[in-house]
Amino acid sequence: MIDADGFRPNVGIIIANRSGQLLWARRVGQNAWQFPQGGIKAHETPEQALYRELEEEIGLTPEDVEILACTRGWLRYRLPRRMVRTHSRPICIGQKQKWFLLKIRCRDSRVCVDSTPKPEFDGWRWVSYWYPLGQVVPFKREVYRRALRELAPRVHRLANEEGPC
């Protein structure tokens, strides 16, 4: 599903632990790291897509997480020209994303990046809040900056909360 402007609707998933660290995942066979993300199907709401992608990519269920916040609007990025598939119709020039901030409520051992026949990730780790900005591919960097900036107040409150994960 691609909108009239050429952007594919997508959800971005930021998972935080109680220390305010974020789950950072490594793409299969690459030294490229990113937050989990995935397309929104025609019949889905962003929240439904979030839970589907969460289970497909990270192996977590709705019971394993709590939604803390989401971005107010869509955040867009354009693909580099070399990545645009000009032979496909309609042409997708980028993604528009609704970002969700989740609190992990289960043990780390529940995270499973290889639970599907074709996993997107082959590793993961916890990183400091702003670390992803220096590591993500350049064309996604501004969207990451905007999402992290908007969601930062909620993560910083999480890091100060008491109680078990």
pLDDT digits (tens, 9 = 90+) for 80-124: 888 888 777 888 889 999 999 999 999 999 999 998 999 999 999
Mean pLDDT of the chain: 93
| Cβ neighbour number for residue 59 with a 10 Å cutoff | 16
152's enclosing H/E stretch is helix 141-159
pLDDT digits (tens, 9 = 90+) for 24-47: 999 999 989 999 999 999 999 999
More confident residue, 131 or 31: 131
Domain count for the chain: 1
Q: Are strands 22-27 and 121-127 parallel, antiparallel or unpaired?
A: antiparallel
Assigned domain for 162 exists: no
Q: Is the pTM of this model over 0.85?
A: yes
Residue 163 tokens read as 């109680």
Instruction: Evaluate if residue 138 carries a pLDDT over 90.
Output: yes
Q: What pLDDT does 163 receive?
A: 52
CB 144 within 8 Å of CB 127: no
Q: What is the CATH number of the domain that holds 69?
A: 3.90.79.10
Give residue 122's pLDDT: 96
Residue 164 covered by a domain = no
- Domain extent, residue 93, equals 7-152
Backbone angles phi, psi at 62, to 5 degrees: -55, -30
Q: Residue 88: what pLDDT? A: 79
Share of the chain above pLDDT 90, in %: 79
Distances (CA, A) of 109 to 43, 60, 64, 105: 32, 10, 11, 12
| Distance, CA of 115 to CA of 119 (rounded, Å) | 7
1 falls within a domain: no
User: Does 25 map to a domain?
Assistant: yes
Domain assignment present for residue 2? The answer is no
pLDDT number for residue 165: 42
Question: Is the pLDDT assigned to residue 69 strictly greater than 50?
Answer: yes
Residue 163 lies in a domain: no
73 pLDDT exceeds 90? yes
User: Across residues 47-62, what is the average pLDDT?
Assistant: 97
- Domain assignment present for 60: yes
Q: Is residue 159 part of a domain?
A: no
